A = this chain, B = another copy of it.
Amino acid sequence: MKIDSTFGSMVMEPNLNHTPPKTWRRWLIGNPLLTADAPNQTIGKMIGLAVFASDALSSTAYASQEILIILAYAGTAALGYVFPISLAIVTLMVIVSISYEQTIHAYPGGGGAYIVARDNLGELPAQTAGAALLTDYILTVAVSISSGVAQITSAFPNLYALRVEIAVVLVLFVMTINLRGVKESGITFAIPTYFFVIAMTLTVGIGFFRYLTGTLGTVVNPPEFITDGTIHMITPFLLLHAFSSGTAALTGIEAISNGITAFKEPRSKNAGITLVWMSGILASLFLGISFLIGPIHAVPSEAETVISQLARTVFGGQNFLYLAVIGGTAIILIMAANTAFADFPRLSALHAGDGFLPRQLTFRGSRLVYSRGIMALAGLSCLLIILFQASVTRLIPLYAIGVFLSFTLSQAGMARRWWKSGKLKVDEKIIEPGSVLTYDNRWKFKMIVNGFGAVCTFVVMLVFAITKFKDGAWIIIILVPIMVSIFFSIHHHYKNLAKKLSLQEFHSTNIKRHRVIVLIASVHRGSLAALAYARTLSNDVTSVHVSTDPFESRKVKEKWEYYGEGTRLVVLDSPYRLLIEPVMEYIEKMLSIRQQDEIITVVVPQFVPAHWWENFLHNQTALMLRFGLLFKPGLVIIEVPYQV
């Protein structure tokens, strides 16, 4: 212990024994890490692509299939629309990518939708974007893991019955890894991501080669077709519905703009180039898959994914190459879930830091990760997986609407930002929490780019909300406003609390009188210990006994003569045998005659039995008093334990 002379107060040396004990928990999540150990390494474009692309690229595993499923309701004739719809989605993808490329350069410190909306649009849009993103991260985990399990059960159909259990185990596995704290070492991400990209490129490439040479053929033993029994008309609504399902391909595209700080300098440039690469790969694979599933007559099914049908048709059976594709796809989907595990806790900590979520979410656990956020995400996504039976098709209508809401807000925020930039003088600066705003001479063009992105994503969001409303989108449409209003009530609580606790106009008050009341059920070592304690607190001690039995009370009074050390004994008659109520009434009377700067302390003797169950053998008087009197100002309740 050394004396910190600056303040005249003692400072204890860091004591490395303040670590949790070696328990199963420590075995599971690893040894604690020092705060000073927070990692800080930057990555290049190759690794950056691997780290941030898994969420976006993995959506190729289900996006084409989900378009197919909706079109299938209008019979095989409608399946020809898969490719045109995919083209429309890729167009949207290009618009969004260009829009985000601008964000990357404007927010070199990381420009997630929450920060962009907060800086440029205000608190309500920011909280809305945040709520949309948080729900979407939960759905990313549920959808990605479910799709990953669907790949596995496509290859091993006898695992289909266990799909929910497998999905839950995978979520818990990813949770554990994240509780240990992922050192995003890049290489662990690079291998599976590039493996997936190569496997998928090979599948699409060989597929095209065989298509062009006329040797591709169609799916052998196709799985059962999903149908509701009737053939629907091909209506614009149906096509928009299919388009909405396909927009799942865009999820994850914003990841790079959140994580710019991880890139080597020149950060923004490297991040921007990586974004272009990522979008290019994503668009090519998505279009390739969407095209090829036409000629092979792939069938939408819960039993076998379209990827599985494509791979075994291209490679001519369930051989080694087929298994490589399926394995690679399953792994990248699990990594996409892992991305959400990195983003959700970080975003919720950001909310909590701004006072819109419980402060505990900003607390980093022994492994320097936001453990509570990680566990909340795992719990909620498992709940979704169980409720929706790990079905991607049933989860999809909930997905993407939040993504498009956050896209819209983020890009609208950027458009507003360019407009503000245009109003600045050339050498003027506005320093905001998230970035620095200066004059940009291309502000009009940039505003149009982001504004156009905002309008497009807003329209898509509306289309999505309408076409998917009854399939599940209504849940999100109800949930997001509820979450936002909860965020604001939490914020109100913290602001109010801060005001109440503020030391402005604070005058230290001395407590001038301290009245102590000791409850005495009977006279024994326990109650006398409480009395001795009470007498150290104040000279004004009153003992109170509730009399339900005149014989017992007489004994108490007689013993008090001898053991009471001269303190006042007040006996409260309780003709209805009530115990708590007479005490409460007495205390309330004392409180009502309380003076300014007077405090009343109630001392309750409390047995501490050797075994927990023995508590049931005693009246829990202190507990009940605490409940009854918690809200009275000027009152403190003390339990004086007496170890038995």
Instruction: Please list the residues of chain A having a beta carbon within 8 angstroms of any beta carbon in chain B.
Output: 4, 6-20, 32-36, 358-360, 363-366, 490, 493-494, 496-497, 500-503, 506, 508-511, 514, 523-526, 528, 532-533, 535-538, 548, 557-561, 563, 565, 568-578, 581-582, 585-586, 599, 607-609, 614, 616-619, 630-631, 633, 635-641, 643-644
Contacts and interface: CB of A to CB of B under 8 A. Distances in A.
Residue among A526, A537, A559, A576 having the largest count of chain B Cβ atoms under 10 Å:
A576
Residue among A490, A619, A641 having the largest count of chain B Cβ atoms under 10 Å:
A641
Given A536-B514, A578-B18, A11 B630 contact: no
A8 to B, nearest CB: 8
Contact of A572 (B7, B12, B571, B576): B12
Contacts of A6: 557
A497 B641 contact: no
A533 B32 contact: no
Contacts of A640: 636
Nearest to A640: B636
Given A12-B571, A526-B501, A536 B599 contact: yes
B501 A525 contact: yes
Contact of A599 (B514, B533, B582): B533
Contact of A490 (B17, B508, B570, B617): B617
Given A508-B532, A524-B501, A10 B630 contact: no
The 7 closest A-B pairs by CB, nearest first: A501-B524, A9-B569, A14-B573, A32-B576, A7-B557, A11-B571, A358-B617
A371 to B, nearest CB: 11
Contacts of A501: 524-526, 644
A440 to B, nearest CB: 34
Contacts of A641: 630, 635-636
A494 B609 CA distance: 11
Contact of A363 (B18, B528, B577, B631): B577
A506 B493 contact: no
Contacts of A510: 532
A273 B257 CA distance: 96
Given A11-B573, A576-B35, A641-B636, A508 B565 contact: yes
27 contacts: A7-B560, A9-B560, A10-B568, A10-B570, A11-B570, A11-B571, A12-B571, A12-B573, A18-B578, A20-B581, A32-B576, A34-B575, A34-B576, A358-B616, A359-B619, A493-B614, A501-B526, A501-B644, A506-B525, A511-B532, A511-B536, A536-B538, A536-B599, A537-B537, A608-B630, A630-B641, A636-B640
A20 B523 CA distance: 27
Contacts of A630: 608, 641
Contacts of A34: 575-576
A379 to B, nearest CB: 15
A389 to B, nearest CB: 31
Contact of A536 (B493, B537, B559): B537
Nearest to A36: B575
A18 B576 contact: yes
A455 B582 CA distance: 54
A636 B638 contact: yes
Nearest to A617: B358
B548 A617 contact: no
A36 B577 CA distance: 11
Contact of A575 (B14, B363, B528): B14
A109 to B, nearest CB: 20
B503 A563 contact: yes
A267 to B, nearest CB: 26
A35 B577 contact: yes
